[in-house]
Amino acid sequence: MTSLASAIRAALLTADPRAKCFAARKLARDWRLGRLEWQFDVTMPDQPARPERPELLPPGQMPKRGKGGSERGRIALWHALAHIEFVAIDLALDIVGRFGAEMGREFADDFLAVAADEAMHFALLARKLESLGSHYGALPAHAGLWEAAYETRHDVAARLAVVPMVLEARGLDVTPATIERVRAQGDVGGGKILARILDDEIRHVGYGAKHFVAWAEARGESPQKAWKKLVERHFRGQLKPPFNDSARLAAGLSRDYYAGIAS
């Protein structure tokens, strides 16, 4: 029987976007059906495989998207969203492959389900791009999305604090405005895609918060205090309002986590 870790490593080292989506969804299904052995016998790569396109650029070198209502602006928006979801597949896979042995089966259950969701999100967004006459890889993309994973590769608490509880939580804040903007352009289908993603991301952030709280309480620490220390140590950016407090609360992130360190 194939080990869980080796299946995850193989998916991480799959570069083609469609093949990676298929690998992630098959992996989650195989795990759910008991076809993979609970064994962590291989290491995870420091960098997942990437396709030749999109070209990855530092944040400061990313071209301006253009006006949101223009064809160029719409394509740039959907391309940026597709790239976020593509990298999110690897983030969910890596956290299981790297920390699953330490954190247990429920942790693997949760984040492999996340990986399957992110693969589905990417497929929806890639199809949306194609409906606009473009495709994933047609534009440059942000190179910094994997940095947080790399910098927290030795510490599961730091990974949970920064990736689901900061970076993914930021999606809860900005997506409602994006949905309204897309709907105002008359794009009903696009609004439905983003609403579906928002609902799923509340659950994803909730998995991060749940396992972080369990980690902190097992050590007799305050989850809020431990989270603030880890964010101050490992997150390079700033937590900026406005916050979607209702979505964050639904995901287990009350204001006493982030109010004190938000800029």
Residue 111 C-alpha from the chain's centroid: 10
DSSP sequence for 46-77? SS----S-SPEE-GGGPPP---TTSHHHHHHH
Q: Which residues neighbour 168 within 8 Å (Cβ) at sequence distance 6 or greater?
A: 88, 201, 204, 205, 208
Q: Which residues neighbour 73 within 8 Å (Cβ) at sequence distance 6 or greater?
A: 65, 66, 67
Q: Which residues neighbour 66 within 8 Å (Cβ) at sequence distance 6 or greater?
A: 72, 73, 76
Whole-number Å distance between alpha carbons of 246 and 17: 33
Query: With b meaning 16 or more CB within 10 Å and e meaning fewer, what string describes 149-169?
Result: beebbeebbbbbbbbbbbbbb
**pLDDT tens for each residue of the chain, 263 residues long:** 999 999 999 999 999 999 999 999 999 999 999 999 999 999 999 999 999 999 998 877 777 765 556 889 999 999 999 999 999 999 999 999 999 999 999 999 999 999 999 999 999 999 999 999 999 999 999 888 899 999 999 999 999 999 999 999 999 999 999 999 999 999 999 999 999 999 999 999 999 999 999 999 999 999 999 999 999 999 988 888 899 999 999 999 999 998 877 66
Around Cβ 143, how many Cβ atoms within 10 Å? 18
Token pair 């008359």 is at which residue? 186
Around Cβ 179, how many Cβ atoms within 10 Å? 19
105-131 and 71-103 helices, crossing angle to 10°: 170
Whole-number Å distance between alpha carbons of 42 and 39: 9
The amino acid sitting at 53 is R
Whether 93 contacts 24, CB under 8 Å: yes
Quick one: which of 28, 245, 46 has its CA closest to 118? 28
